[in-house]
Amino acid sequence: MKNRDVTSAARDRWAEWLAERRFGGDPDVRAELLGKLAETRDRVLDRAELREGETLLDVGCGEGLIGFGALERGAGGVIFSDVSTDLLDFCREAASDLGILERCRFVEAAAEDLGPIDDESVDVATTRSVLIYVRDKAAAFAEFARVLRPGGRISLWEPINRFGSHERWQGSFIGFPVDGGLEETAGKVRAVYEANQPPDSDPMLDFDERDLMRLAEDAGFFPLELHLDAEVKPMPPRGWEGFVDAAWNPNVPTLREAMEQVLTADERDRLTAHLRPLVEQALASGGWRWRT
């Protein structure tokens, strides 16, 4: 399926982030990210062992990355489920354009409450970066178990963010060193993000891969298989404008928005003068870290 954009004058925050804010207006970042997402889609579907004619539930479908991939692989039907009506409308329009609308169903539902979907009605349930937004993850796993037919499977891809608060990052700001009297200035901006996503309680930060395995087992899934990818490497160079205008997830402001919210013009100029060459030259302190 060709790449498409959610195009609307007034999108909800989920649709707006997927369409624009995650890229920061940088076409190179957009192309790179979309390529990585295609790889993720294939990994999710490979591990789901999807068979021709089966029904797949794409939980938190977004723009339909997993669901449309499943249809290309011969799924008999796909249920696109999301909390965003804008994204469901986008997927419905895409399915109509592709001439596959009769093989699709669109359901507005949260991962932890899939009430509109019948018991034992799907063969595979998938997620991609969905459970990180769900506070009651145990309820989500229980719902997955409820809607799956006997012998049904889940294939989940979730980033693990808890490690980001590791003590190694104390004294830095978004992975970069701050010194020369900028610690207080950077702290003001950091406080904006922590207010949006408290490190000790936000659902994006309160779990790791061991928790997911435990929750799956508690919900009755067996056998279980975990694939963990961990990387420690330098951050690649990136244009400053794209970096400062990108939001890391739908729940937080861009760096530019956060700075404008709490810093004076002079403070913004000083922090920008310090961070910009580090971003553009990829001089991250100790490397940029993430795990999935």
- In words, the CATH class of domain 1-158 is alpha beta
**pLDDT per position as a tens digit, 95-138:** 999 999 999 999 999 999 999 999 999 999 999 999 999 999 99
The mean pLDDT of the chain is 90
**Sign of CA pseudo-dihedral 66, 67, 68, 72:** positive
Alpha-carbon span 122 to 131, nearest angstrom:
19
Indicate the domain borders of the chain: 1-158, 159-202+230-292
Assessment of whether the complete model's pTM goes beyond 0.85: yes
Check residue 178 and give its pLDDT. 87
